[in-house]
Structure 1
């Protein structure tokens, strides 16, 4: 089982705007090639959402459904897989205000359920997750900088240079 935490800071969006944009899961495929589709069921008012994810991982599909508990008053999202390719996939998003911007924290614990391949698959999945999440947050907010993880920061900078920013109308 592997856990990771990724922190990003943005001065292009306040915490409330950042939280609202992060909850727009269905837009994630617009920002990174690894996310092929996200289908969201339900509304975010008083009930949890259910989202269905289709991701490209190691040249093949990785699919799961998760329940997403939105807590707008805390600017927090808690999620857990309900069915799919992981044995365990659960985590959270948190958005905190900063002077002139916000800090976004993404945490996840996952397990593919294949102990003999964990040493190979989990480090690759960790790298892919960090880079994809950081790129998505950057594009959702207009800019974001990885905190405390220089390797991920450099990889995201390279990704952004290769694939230009999407049309601003997509993020509005």
Structure 2
């Protein structure tokens, strides 16, 4: 299954709580980046959120709904798609202190549901996902952030 891990460093930013608060405000994403068309939230209770996403992806639009578990103490967000354009899409966001600022790590595993084309499509999808996450992070936190080259695995368990 394809996997993507992307790290971003927000230099000089030491308030991990503030970074996490902005990251967890999904509904505001369209204000910060054109990569996200719309996010609506429902079912907010006890750190659980149902979010519904519409995101520009390459030359098309991907739509899905996910369950998000938001933990402001651990500074983590774990998500799992419950329906949408992927056969499977789940992962996490983690905010941690870094030597030069704050680190935001995005990890995800996905399955596009096209096994006969996976060898061709999965590497392209990994790259497109990493690019989209980079755009979202720069939109949320500014162009000055450092986004590392993503670690991707187009095939794997």
Residue 20 of structure 2 is aligned to residue 23 of structure 1: no
Residue 61 of structure 2 is aligned to residue 35 of structure 1: no
Asked if the contact 2:47/2:71 (under 8 Å) is kept, the reply is no
RMSD over aligned Cα atoms = 1.9
Of structures 1 and 2, the one with the larger relative CO (CA 8 A, separation 6+) is: 2
Q: Which has the higher strand share?
A: 2
Q: What's 1:54 paired with?
A: 54
Aligned-pair distance for 1:120?
A: 2.8
Moved more, 3-12 or 115-124: 115-124
Residue 16 of structure 2 is aligned to residue 11 of structure 1: no
Aligned-pair distance for 1:100?
A: 5.2
Aligned-pair distance for 1:50?
A: 0.5
Asked if the contact 2:50/2:68 (under 8 Å) is kept, the reply is yes
Residue 114 of structure 2 is aligned to residue 78 of structure 1: no
Structure 1 unaligned residues grouped into runs of 5+ = 151-172
Q: C-alpha offsets along residues 7-53 of structure 1, whole Å, 9 cap, x if unaligned?
A: 1111253211111111111222233333221111233x614101001
Structure 2 unaligned residues grouped into runs of 5+ = 151-157
Asked if the contact 2:36/2:136 (under 8 Å) is kept, the reply is no
TM-score (norm 2): 0.84
Going from structure 1 to structure 2, the CA distance change for 1:58 and 1:138 (only over 3 Å counts) comes to: closer
- How many residues get paired? 148
Q: What's 2:88 paired with?
A: 88
Q: What's 2:154 paired with?
A: none
User: SS state of the match for residue 73, structure 1?
Assistant: coil
Aligned-pair distance for 1:135?
A: 2.2
Q: What's 2:114 paired with?
A: 114
Q: C-alpha offsets along residues 58-117 of structure 1, whole Å, 9 cap, x if unaligned?
A: 433321100000011110000000111111100000000124521110000000111122
